[in-house]
Amino acid sequence: MINVKDKVVLITGGSTGIGYAAAKIFLKNGSKVVIAGRSDSAGKQAVSSLREISENVEFIAADVSNPNNVKALINSTVELYGRLDIAFNNAGIDGTFASITEIEDDVMNDVIDINLKGVWLCCKYQIKQFKAQQSGGVIVNTSSWLAKGAFAGSSVYSASKAALDGMTRALAVELGPDGIRVNNVNPGYIKTPMLSRFFDPDSKEAQPFKSHAPMQRFGESEDIANSVVWLSSDSASFITGESLLIDGGLSIGGQR
């Protein structure tokens, strides 16, 4: 078992996909978990299922682009469990993948609000809590392989995630003396509801995307979640400022 027993964990975007998978693994390893999201119904359904693993899980509705929501989310987590040890800032949106000349300006604002500003706000108030506790802390953010790679039409999403990688490095330098570690995970093509909005992962249409990765498959949510839990544990205690590609080799250069 990875040693995260009795740790208090906050997961944004925790009702589905990678966030939900991470909540399951944290709970199986003895953590106390708060999941957050914008949908009450999805959050309550997720908690109902997660309580089959452990009763130590709650849902709090929050919009991470709203500073007051973020502050209330962290305050409520501390009220529930007495402290905050680990934060997995996973909430994100895909926006529109299209030519830059076809994307509406509002799409850029929405993606940056959630994917970058939202993570920045979460980090800000999580770090305030860590410093108040004077016991360090761990943050893991969800970036993307598109922070380092690209394809035609990914300009907005790629920009939001590349900025997140840069922010994580800066925070790691700033917060290392306080015993606070900050890292990213950078998923490739993972079978989540977000990917399914583009194509059915099991369809013929998806095959070219699957075959481009050397491992010849799409990732599962658990492939990312396992790495998140490991990065959050003392097993990774000397790792900070990293953006860990978990993409089955998708972003390796060269013609395939």
Residue 79: CB atoms within 10 A of its CB come to 8
The 8-class DSSP code of residue 164 comes to H
Q: Among residues 20, 81, 157, 189, which one is catalytic? A: 157
Do 34 and 60 contact (CB within 8 A), yes or no?
Answer: yes
Label the pairing between strands 8-12 and 32-37. Answer: parallel
Integer CA distances (angstroms), 144 to 51, 190, 229, 238, in order? 30, 10, 17, 22
DSSP string, 159-220: HHHHHHHHHHHHHHHHHGGGTEEEEEEEE-SB-SHHHHTT--TTSGGGHHHHHHSTT-SPBP
Q: Which residues contact 101 (CB under 8 A, 6 or more apart)?
A: none
Any catalytic annotation for residue 81?
A: no
Catalytic residue annotation: 157
